[in-house]
Amino acid sequence: MKVKVFVTTKAGVLDPQGAAVEQAVHTMGYSSVEQVRIGKYMEFNIIADNREQAAAQVEQMCEKLLANPVVEDYRYELEE
Amino acid sequence: MKVKVFVTTKAGVLDPQGAAVEQAVHTMGYSSVEQVRIGKYMEFNIIADNREQAAAQVEQMCEKLLANPVVEDYRYELEE
């Protein structure tokens, strides 16, 4: 099963990377770009008996390692 | 319009971050995880007259700034 994980900073948490990219694209002339948020994107394969087991494992990995629950949110997609 | 950009290392390009995460999740007991690839995930809003104009601007930003065309691939999604 293919897993895609998206980790983004929680709303309200300062995103200096996002602010820097926003400034850079404005400088390049794309002044209509707003609210740039930068996060992590992860792809991997996982072997599991069913979707529920895969989901449980992915959530555990996110909670323990892939996302920092204090300042980051995560969501994931499972593809058969 | 909301834009989501996904930047990943090209196939065949070494992904040390991915390898490190793969080893870490194996150590945590998730031995069935394979082929971990880590990339960047970006969200932002853009004002454009239509989808084509938005797509053209996003592609220019990706080519010039958001992705390194030598070692990275990018794809994006536009949401009205």
This model of the complex carries an ipTM of 0.84
In the prediction, which pLDDT does A39 show? 96
- B48-55 long-range contacts (CB < 8 A, ≥24 apart) are B48/A32, B48/B1, B51/B1, B51/B78, B54/B1, B54/B3, B54/B78
Segment B43-62 mean pLDDT: 96
Find the closest chain B residue to A48 by CA distance.
Answer: B32
In the prediction, which pLDDT does B80 show? 85
Is B35 an 8 Å CB contact of chain A? Answer: yes
Whether the per-residue pLDDT at A80 is higher than 90: the answer is no
Its pTM stands at 0.87
Torsion of CA B34, B42, A77, B74, to 10 degrees: -60
Is B22 an 8 Å CB contact of chain A? Answer: yes
Task: Indicate the average pLDDT of chain B.
Answer: 95
- The CA distance from B35 to the nearest CA of chain A, in Å, is 5
Query: pLDDT-derived band of residue B1, with 50, 70 and 90 as boundaries?
Result: very high
Segment B4-22 mean pLDDT: 94
Q: Interior CA angle at A14 toward B36 and A5, to 5°? A: 20
Contacts of B60 in chain A (CB under 8 A): 30
CA distances from A70 to A59, A61, B28, B65 (A): 15, 15, 21, 29
In the prediction, which pLDDT does B70 show? 94
Interfacial B residues in 45-64 facing A (CB < 8 Å): 45-48, 57, 60-61, 64
Is A34 an 8 Å CB contact of chain B? Answer: yes
Of A30, A44, A46, the CB nearest to B57: A30
In the prediction, which pLDDT does A11 show? 87
Whether the per-residue pLDDT at A43 is higher than 90: the answer is yes
Round to whole Å and give the CA distance between B72 and B80: 27
Round to whole Å and give the CA distance between A19 and B53: 23
Find the closest chain B residue to A42 by CA distance.
Answer: B38
Q: State both tokens at B52.
A: 């084509």
CA distances from A37 to A7, A16, A67, A72, B16 (A): 11, 9, 15, 12, 24
List, for residues A10-26, the tens digit of each pLDDT value.
988 999 999 999 999 99
Segment A45-58 mean pLDDT: 96
In the prediction, which pLDDT does A50 show? 94
